[in-house]
Structure 1
Amino acid sequence: MYKVLIVDDERIIREGIGNSIDWDNYGFSLCGMAENGIDAYETIIRDVPDVVITDIKMPGMDGLELISKVNAEYPQIIFIILSGYGEFEFANKAMKYGVKYYLLKPCDENEIIMILIEIESEKKDEEKKDRFLKDINDNLKKVLPQVGEQFLRDFIMGVNYSKLELEYFLRLFDIKETKFKLIVFKMDNAVNESDVIDKFALKNIAYDILDQSTVYLSTILDNNILLLIKSMDLAILTDLLTQIKDAFNKYFKNDICVGVSNENSFDSINKMYLEVQECLKCEFYLGDNKIITEKVIEFNKSRDNLNDSTYNEIIAVSVKTGNIESLNLQLDSFFHMIYEGKLEIEMAKNYCIEIFLIILRQGDGKEVRGYTKGLYEIQDKSTLKQISVYIKEIANEIAKKNYDNNTENYGSIISTVINCVDNNIQNYELSLTWIAKTVLFINENYLGKLFYKHTNEKFSRYVVRLRMEKAKELIKSKKDYKIYEITEQIGLGDNTQYFSQVFKKYTGYTPSEYRKL
């Protein structure tokens, strides 16, 4: 059983989630509920749950602070964020802590259940992979030149060796050259240790093509395979690296990008590594499967030449109305703008995440939940092209569904608005904005135009008419309602003066005159 903690400052939400799910049925147990981050943190220290379902905005310690604090101490705990409409900034920050489950309020228990099922599956896969990797690592230790790998890794990370130690290791690895080059193979999509086989396959292919006498040391660092080789002519080396890429791509799906340092001495390995890392950043705009021998792009730190809202509304309308031709045209233009701007990678990804969220908001609420993990996917992509393909694919899916459903859904949307008004006529917050954001999750202006098109009446006028008709009924009833009682029941709070003005304009009489009639 995996333990779950629910954190929300609204009791109705906490208890609603806690009581609506049969936790045992999905392999989970509810270990507690907390109304703020402080209480939640105390429970986490005591019980160490596997999953925490938390709101973002809470008094005391908010959800983001809780995630940051817990992530530092218990990185294995999985967070599911519950958030209100439009909290992109919070969601984006949460992504940096590895949070990939993000639900927009209101959500039902089925959305949470689907995530729980996915988490349980991931947990079991991780446990299976851990067992598998342990067996693999036990065997690899017997055959890998561990000393050489660690020696190169130490130099990459800037560890200092004494002169005597350095001379000893150079003799140990039979290194007699004085000039070297560092090659870094960056594997795209190699996001977890289950791709360890691909990494070792690439390493073996590189050794075969470059020849054992050319490669002195090698190691694997994150998603990178590093080879320290003796210096050679760049044209010859480029041809050999192309052969390595072609051989690897023939049998494996992972794309690779190759960076090559300038020639340098052994004690400058760390400098060579940093140099190659700068080269590899260019992959974001150049595209994957490239050999990069120098930094050919200077990244732009300024956003001044970009207008944040240039494409947002047009793309949103294109998705909502299912205009796929316009959508693709605008998305191509948007990504071209990012490409031409050559923004720093993190800034460019933030732009892409922002447009992705705008696209998601145009889809059906339940279906959109399945796409929200795309926020994590975008952060993980290596190139702008990969991001554009991913976003365009999902945008087209949502737009096509909207196109297919628009004709029948227009009437359904208006019916929902009318029912919402009928059921919330006493609600002081009732407005087009409130319905658009909390009920239908669509653009307010779009909803207003759609309502007028189907009813030939502005929404505000419609609500006033219903409220005044209800007021007339209350005045004519046998109960002798006070004016303030009437205003409360029709959603105008204690604004009796405003009610009297509107009522007279609507009926031609003041409330007291109407009562006498």
Structure 2
Amino acid sequence: MYKVLLADDERIILEGISSMIQWHSFGASLVGAVQNGMEAYQLILRERPHIVISDIKMPGMGGLELIEKVSRDHPSIRFILLTGFGQFEYAKKAMAYGVRHYLLKPCNESHITASLASVISELKKEESAERVKSDLELVRPHIRKHALQELIKGGKKAAEGYLRFFPERQTIELILFALEDTGRLSALQKLAAGILGSSVIASVRMNDAVVFAAEPSELIAEKIDRVKKQTEKQFHAVPAAAVSGRGEIGDAASLYEKARGRLAKQLITASCQPSVLVRKMLDLIQREAANPKLSLKWAARNVLYMNPDYLGKLFKQDTGEKFSSYVTKVRIEKAIAMMKQKNGITISSLAEESGFGDNPKYFSLVFKKYTGYTPSEYRKEKS
């Protein structure tokens, strides 16, 4: 429902227009009819009408002054001016504020309804355009994501049609991130997008990496470092990262190849060393060896907050041993060290302090399997 306000110092004109127009037939409602500019201005501030039908000459504040004040703060409000004979010079001034509808007094119903219908039609077209623009803004990130993917896959010539979704000759750089645990790439993409911020134009998953197209910035290196630190804090793993260097959005395919090559070198180097996550597991075993609850599931659930199957696979891949076997080896080695340090320590105490709990028989069996001796035989043999 469009709101309309009338302003004219002649009561007969106010009453005539108010009564002769079937407002609801236009999808409109009359929210006020006042006789001077000051009242009109106050009512406009309160009601925020879509359309104001106003006389040019009124006491207190004329129509032109009213238009000037309202247009400054509320430019979307439309005016239909009522002018007397010889007042067209005033009307010309109103054109500077976008007023295009004028009615010569006395005006008949057909003239008023035609002007009103024209203004409402303009408002509807603008609203429709705004809705289209709003809808486009909602889908633009998805369009750009697909466009970036096609530009990377197909090259500039094959994906030329997608360039229209980016500013002409836009300069970008591609930033790639990768994790050993590819199941966490979506979470990494969200985390990195938050840190990289408004410089990101589009992002997409490509194979086992996350790709960001971003506006070049001197802060990129600092932001990438923040992504790495935050990823390690949350996922206990440091992502590999590479930057392509600067180029046009149309050259996304070649920029991707550059960054991909740099990323591959990092991944090869990282595969030759124990991962950060495995080092955390090794440290945990040394620290918690005396804890009888220590197991792969316990570590995954209470300390590392990750999938135990994935952790076990990663540990075996990097160390060549199962997690449980490594824990047993560490516990027996700690028991041997305690036997050397404390000559009179009992088997029960050894079992408890090396992580076997209140189970000296099981401790003795494991000790013999590992060393070839029972604890007592080992002590005699070494002494």
Q: TM-score normalised to the size of structure 1?
A: 0.29
Structure showing the higher strand proportion among its residues: 2
For the pair shown, the structure with the greater C-alpha radius of gyration is 2
